[in-house]
Chains A and B, each alone.
Chain A
Amino acid sequence: TQLLEQSPQFLSIQEGENLTVYCNSSSVFSSLQWYRQEPGEGPVLLVTVVTGGEVKKLKRLTFQFGDARKDSSLHITAAQTGDTGLYLCGTGANSKLTFGKGITLSVRP
Chain B
Amino acid sequence: GAGVSQSPSNKVTEKGKDVELRCDPISGHTALYWYRQSLGQGLEFLIYFQGNSAPDKSGLPSDRFSAERTGGSVSTLTIQRTQQEDSAVYLCASSLNARTLGETQYFGPGTRLLVL
Contacts and interface: CB of A to CB of B under 8 A. Distances in A.
B102 A48 contact: yes
Nearest to B31: A95
Contacts of A100: 42
A33 B45 contact: no
Contacts of B91: 42-43
B101 A31 contact: yes
Contact of B42 (A33, A96, A99): A99
Given A96-B45, A96-B48, A33 B102 contact: yes
Nearest to A41: B109
Contacts of B43: 43, 88, 90, 97, 99, 102
Interface string A91-109: 0111111111110000000
A42 B102 contact: no
Contact of B105 (A30, A31, A45, A98): A45
Q: Which 10 A-B pairs have the closest CB atoms?
A: A42-B107, A101-B42, A99-B43, A95-B98, A31-B102, A48-B102, A43-B107, A96-B45, A42-B91, A42-B108
